[in-house]
Chain A
Amino acid sequence: MHGVVMVFFFLIPSIPAVLGNFLVPIMIGAKDLAFPRINLLSWYIYVLGGVFTLFAALSGGVDTGWTFYTPYSTAASNSHVMSAALGVFITGFSSILTGLNFIVTIHRMRAPGMTWFRLPLFIWAHYATSLIMILGTPVIAITVLMVAAERALHLGIFDPALGGDPVLFQHLFWFYSHPAVYIMILPAMGVISEIVQAFSRKNIFGYSFIAFSSLAIAVIGFFVWGHHLFVAGQSVYAGLIFSFISFLVAIPSAIKVFNWTATIYKGSVSLDSPMLYAFGFIGLFTIGGLTGLVLATMGIDIHVHDTYFVVAHFHYIMVGGAIMGYLGGLHYWWPKMTGKLYSEAWSKFSALIVFVGFNLTFFPQFIAGYIGMPRRYHAYPPEFQVLNVLSSAGASILAVGYIIPLIYFMYSLVAGEKAANDPWGSRGLEWEIPSPPPTENFTVTPVVTEGTHQYVHPSQEVGVA
Chain B
Amino acid sequence: MSGHVAPKSLYYLIFLALMIGTGVTVLVAKFDLGPLNNIVMLSVACAKALLVILFFMHVRWSSRLTWVVAGSGFFWLLILFSITMSDYMSRGWVPGTLR
Q: Per a CB cutoff under 8 Å, which of B72, B80, B92 touches A235? A: B92
Identify the closest chain B residue to A238 (Cβ). Answer: B87
- Contact check, A175 vs B92: say whether CB atoms are below 8 A apart: no
Contacts of A236 in B (CB 8 A): 90, 93-94, 97
The answer to whether A235 touches B93, judged by C-beta atoms less than 8 angstroms apart, is yes
> What 0/1 readout, one digit per residue, does chain A (210-227) give for beta carbons within 8 Å of chain B?
000000000000110110
Say whether A168 contacts B84, CB under 8 Å. Answer: yes
Q: Give A134's nearest chain B residue, CB to CB.
A: B73
Does A234 sit at the interface, judged by CB under 8 A? yes
Min CB–CB distance B69 → chain A (angstroms): 9
Total of A-B residue pairs, C-beta within 8 Å? 44
A194 to B92, CA, bound (A): 49
Known A-B contacts: A171-B87, A234-B87, A237-B93. Give 6 more (CB < 8 A): A175-B80, A233-B98, A235-B90, A236-B94, A237-B90, A241-B86
- The smallest beta-carbon distance between A19 and chain B, in angstroms, is 26
Q: Which residues of chain B in 72-89 are interfacial with respect to chain A, using CB atoms and an 8 Å cutoff? A: 72-73, 76, 79-80, 83-84, 86-88
A223 touching B83, Cβ below 8 Å: yes
Question: How far, in whole Å, are A321 and B92 apart by their CA atoms in the complex?
Answer: 39
Residues of A within 8 A of B92 (CB): 235
With an 8 A cutoff between CB atoms, is B91 at the interface?
yes
Contact with B along A112-150 (1 / 0, CB 8 A): 000000000000000000000001000100000000000
Q: Which of A135, A175, A229, A235 contacts B97 (CB 8 A)?
A: A235
> Are B86 and A238 interface neighbours, CB within 8 A?
yes
Alpha-carbon separation in the docked complex, A135 to B84 (Å): 17
8 example contacts (A-B, Cβ-Cβ < 8 A) are as follows A167-B87, A168-B84, A171-B87, A172-B80, A175-B84, A223-B79, A235-B87, A235-B90
Given the complex of chains A and B, what is the CA–CA distance between A233 and B86 in angstroms? Answer: 13
Taken together as a complex, chains A and B put the C-alpha atoms of A139 and B80 apart, in Å, by: 9
* A172: B residues at CB distance < 8 A: 80, 84
CB closest chain-A residue, reference B77: A139
By beta carbon, the residue of chain A nearest B88 is A235
Task: Known A226-B83, A235-B87, A241-B86; judge A135-B76 contact (CB<8 A).
Answer: yes
Residues of B within 8 A of A233 (CB): 98
Closest to B73 in A: A135
Scoring A residues 231 to 247 as 1 if CB is less than 8 Å from chain B, else 0, what string do you get?
Answer: 00111111001000000
Bitwise interface map of A from 432 to 465 toward B, beta carbon under 8 Å scored 1, else 0: 0000000000000000000000000000000000
B-side residues, CB < 8 A to A, are 72-73, 76, 79-80, 83-84, 86-88, 90-94, 97-98
Q: Counting chain A CB atoms within 10 Å of each CB, which of B84, B92, B93 scores highest?
A: B84
CA distance A116 to B76 in the complex (A): 25
Determine how close the nearest CB of chain B comes to the CB of A119; give it in whole angstroms: 19
Q: How many angstroms from the CA of A168 to the CA of B88 in the assembled complex?
A: 9
Q: How far is the CA of A222 from the CA of B86 in the complex (A)?
A: 15
- Contact of A171 with B84 in the complex, beta carbons under 8 Å: yes
Task: List residues of chain A with CB within 8 A of the CB of B91.
Answer: 235
Closest Cβ of chain B to A218, distance in Å, is 11
Within 8 Å CB of A241, what residues of B?
Answer: 86
CB neighbours (8 Å) of A229 from chain B are 87
Whole-angstrom CA separation of A108 from B79 in the bound complex:
29
* Bound Cα distance from A167 to B79, whole angstroms: 17
Type the 1/0 row for A178-190, where 1 means its CB is closer than 8 Å to any CB of B.
0000000000000
The 8 closest A-B pairs by CB, nearest first: A238-B87, A235-B90, A237-B90, A235-B91, A236-B94, A171-B84, A135-B76, A234-B87
Set of chain A residues within 8 Å of B98, measured between Cβ atoms: 233
Chain A: minimal CB distance from B64 (Å)? 14
Q: Once the chains are docked, how many angstroms separate the CA of A64 from the CA of B91?
A: 27
Whole-angstrom distance between the alpha carbons of A222 and B97 in the complex? 26
Q: How far is the CA of A223 from the CA of B80 in the complex (A)?
A: 9
B66 CB → nearest A CB, Å: 12
Chain A residues within 8 Å of B86, by CB: 237-238, 241
**Bound: A315/B80 CA distance, A:** 27
* Residues in B whose Cβ lies below 8 Å from that of A225: 83
CB pair A238 B73 closer than 8 Å = no
Residue of B nearest to A107 (CB): B65
Q: A347-362: contact bitstring with B at CB < 8 Å (1 yes, 0 no)?
A: 0000000000000000
Q: Smallest CB-CB separation from B84: which chain A residue?
A: A171
The reply to whether B94 and A237 form a contact with Cβ atoms under 8 Å apart is yes
Residues of B within 8 A of A222 (CB): 76, 79
A235 to B83, CA, bound (A): 12
Name the A residues within 8 Å of B76 (CB-CB). 135, 222
- Closest chain B residue to A237 by CB distance? B90
Give the CA-CA distance A229 to B90 in the complex, in Å. 14
Bitwise, A306-327 to B at CB < 8 A (1) or not (0) is: 0000000000000000000000
- List, in ascending order, chain A residues with CB within 8 A of B94's CB: 235-237
Contact residues in A for B83 (Cβ distance below 8 Å):
223, 225-226, 238
